[in-house]
Structure 1
Amino acid sequence: MTTATQQHNPDAVIDPDAAVVGHPKRPFKRYFRETGWRHLVGIAMSIFAAFPLLYVFSASLNPGGTLVTANSLFSNFSFQSYVDLFNRPQQPYAAWFGNTLLIGGISSLGTVFLGALAAYAFSRMRFIGRRVGLLTLLLVQMFPQLLAVVAIFLLLSGISEIFPAIGLNSQIGLIMVYLGGALGVNTYLMYGFFNTVPSSIDEAAKIDGAGHARIFFTIILRLVAPILAVVGLLSFVGTTSEFVIASIVLIDPDKQTLAVGLYQFVSQEFSRNWSIFAAGAVLAAIPVMTLFLFLQKYIVGGLTAGSVK
């Protein structure tokens, strides 16, 4: 077409961007209406999500100790806040970090194990009260955990008089509280994923002589790895960032978690140090970010497959 036009009118000017063979150029209005606005929304959301992270990191590098002087991002650059974070005997950040990893790791592993056992029972077994039990788990989770703070305190206070190891000011007691309140939504989420696994696999294993325990540990757990990763990640994030119950149960500074300990840097009126607080928050985000990146390939599949049943 172009060659014929040139032969009939050799003086005609041809715009090379007017059309491309096989890939015609879209007008700007059409491009913006179809895909351009999505790019703008994506850029805006990326800036909205990244700015608080950059602001906290900039505040951790600002030796001023206030957030007002951190308004200019990265105007001051010093790692002194990170050094001071580990040189405060009255505020043992290293102990808080270790306690958080210990409590969060054990709680997440226990939540995954107990939730998987309950989900397998609800998915594969038929018994009286099965449907009522599922509904009860969901109804209990409708009430916020804050309503149970007084009951948890009184319960642990009474237990500490008989078994001090699992009562107040005990990390084991806090782990047991977390495990007791993590079976509702997690069990129902796992139950939906377990239903996607064909029951014919169980029947074939039973023909070969396998019982429920062997089927669960050797077959089912490998097939439901995505949802186990999702529940473990959500549980770890929830326990490491939980403040209310941890501040009531744990009293000694050496036993507290990061969420409780970091509050001490900004709770006192005349000794607030937002730089050290920001530095501690940046370091506290590293384990969660590392675990998220490690389990990233399981997250989307686990959430979407567990939500269709």
Structure 2
Amino acid sequence: MATQTAAGTGRAMDASGHRRLTGRKFFLEVGWRHVVGVLAVVYAAFPIVYVFSAALSSRGTLTGSNRLFADVGLENFAALQDTYFWHWTANTLVIATITGIGTVIMGAAAAYAFSRFRFSGRRVGLTALLVIQMFPQMLAFVAIFLLLLGLGNVVPALGLNSKLALILVYLGGALGVNTFLMYGFFNTVPREIDEAAKIDGASHSQIFWTIILRLVAPILAVVGLLSFISTFGEFIIARVILQSERNWTLAVGLYGWVSDLLEARWGLFAAGAVIAAVPVVLLFLFLQKYIVGGLTAGAVKG
């Protein structure tokens, strides 16, 4: 027979001779994990289904979505054409993309310097990065507002209501945590590779751009992904800096639709939220193979 069951053990032998769990033993050791997994998926998916149902509801309210997909239509998506939604989407994509690329380049350069060079103040700099990342960037939004208010009188392009100013604020806030994250990953790259490249006549810049960056691609993808996602959904600092409606990001614009509860446009909000989730989901699916390796490899050697 292909399968044989040992009496009283709750295990069975398959054709290859390996033991497989059966009955109650299977549920106690393995099966309960499937139950937990299904419950987690249902718990996470229900809000998504609810918002998607509200986006397709022509009533334009969340209370009308108590019965999922009872009223299906594309009126909310069509109504987005009469708003600044697509301007907000373009603003958000530009800001998040530039911030993600800038964070990767600046963080990688700083991490390479801390990992490969020995200079005065190196240990103090690493400690400062570790301490700074403990404080969220939003704690400084009053100081950021006053700084940009004064800076705008001298350089209008870096003042309030400037997307460039917002990008610079994001880059400064993300530099500490991402540099420290990359630093641990850079330390896993053997120094012998650098020494061999130097013997062949390569400069530090050539080693960094042509060799090291290719070897640390997983952490670059992770940092870029995390920076893009955090910037894409950031609200407080964007609301403080961007003042004209046309320059708003998606987070600020969608909040504006529901900030007044008496005139909240929940249908537009739900439709906009569904479309806004698409870039993040696609980028996450494209880079997900790097996430585990990029986040764990840096913990091996620090």
Aligned position for 2:9: none
Matching of residue 186 in structure 1 with residue 178 in structure 2: yes
CA shift for structure 1 position 288: 0.6
Aligned position for 1:47: 42
Aligned position for 2:253: 261
SS at the partner of 1:180?
Answer: helix
Residue 271 of structure 2 is aligned with which of 254, 267, 279? 279
Matching of residue 28 in structure 1 with residue 27 in structure 2: no
Return the alpha-carbon distance in structure 1 between the equivalents of residues 263 and 60 of structure 2: 10
Residue 82 of structure 1 is aligned with which of 67, 72, 77? 77
CA shift for structure 1 position 192: 0.7
Return the alpha-carbon distance in structure 2 between the equivalents of residues 270 and 45 of structure 1: 34
The within-5 A match list for 1:189-268 is 189-268=181-260
CA shift for structure 1 position 34: 1.1
Alpha carbons 1:189, 1:307 under 8 Å: kept:
no
Aligned position for 1:116: 108
CA shift for structure 1 position 183: 1.0
Report which of the two structures shows the higher radius of gyration computed on alpha carbons: 1
Residue 287 of structure 2 is aligned with which of 295, 298, 309? 295
Return the alpha-carbon distance in structure 1 between the equivalents of residues 115 and 20 of structure 2: 53
- Structure 1 stretches of 4+ with a deviation exceeding 3 A read 18-27
Aligned position for 2:5: none
Alpha carbons 1:226, 1:298 under 8 Å: kept:
yes
Structure 1 residues 155 and 19: CA distance shift in structure 2, 3 A: closer
Structure 1 residues 24 and 120: CA distance shift in structure 2, 3 A: closer
SS at the partner of 1:157?
Answer: helix
Structure 1 residues 128 and 24: CA distance shift in structure 2, 3 A: closer
User: Partner letter of residue 199 of structure 1?
Assistant: R
SS at the partner of 1:128?
Answer: coil
Return the alpha-carbon distance in structure 2 between the equivalents of residues 143 and 237 of structure 1: 19
Structure 1 residues 81 and 23: CA distance shift in structure 2, 3 A: same
Sequence identity of aligned pairs in percent?
Answer: 61
Return the alpha-carbon distance in structure 2 between the equivalents of residues 289 and 34 of structure 1: 33
CA shift for structure 1 position 147: 1.6
Structure 1 residues 93 and 221: CA distance shift in structure 2, 3 A: same
Unaligned ranges ≥5, structure 1: 2-17
Aligned position for 2:68: 73
Return the alpha-carbon distance in structure 1 between the equivalents of residues 195 and 14 of structure 2: 59
Structure 1 residues 128 and 81: CA distance shift in structure 2, 3 A: same
Return the alpha-carbon distance in structure 2 between the equivalents of residues 232 and 20 of structure 1: 46
CA shift for structure 1 position 19: 7.2
User: Partner letter of residue 200 of structure 2?
Assistant: D
Return the alpha-carbon distance in structure 2 between the equivalents of residues 242 and 203 of structure 1: 42
Aligned position for 1:4: none
CA shift for structure 1 position 270: 3.0
Return the alpha-carbon distance in structure 2 between the equivalents of residues 174 and 75 of structure 1: 42
Over residues 224-255 of structure 1, what are the superposed CA-to-partner deviations in whole Å (9 max), with x where a residue is unaligned? 11000000000000001000000010011111
Return the alpha-carbon distance in structure 2 between the equivalents of residues 25 and 293 of structure 1: 33
Q: RMSD of the TM alignment (CA)? A: 1.7
User: Partner letter of residue 193 of structure 1?
Assistant: F
Unaligned ranges ≥5, structure 2: 2-11
When normalised by structure 2's length, the TM-score is 0.93
SS at the partner of 1:126?
Answer: coil
Residue 32 of structure 2 is aligned with which of 34, 37, 53? 37
When normalised by structure 1's length, the TM-score is 0.91
Structure 1 residues 63 and 124: CA distance shift in structure 2, 3 A: same
User: Partner letter of residue 193 of structure 2?
Assistant: I
Which moves more between the two structures, 128-137 or 156-165? 128-137
Alpha carbons 1:192, 1:306 under 8 Å: kept:
yes
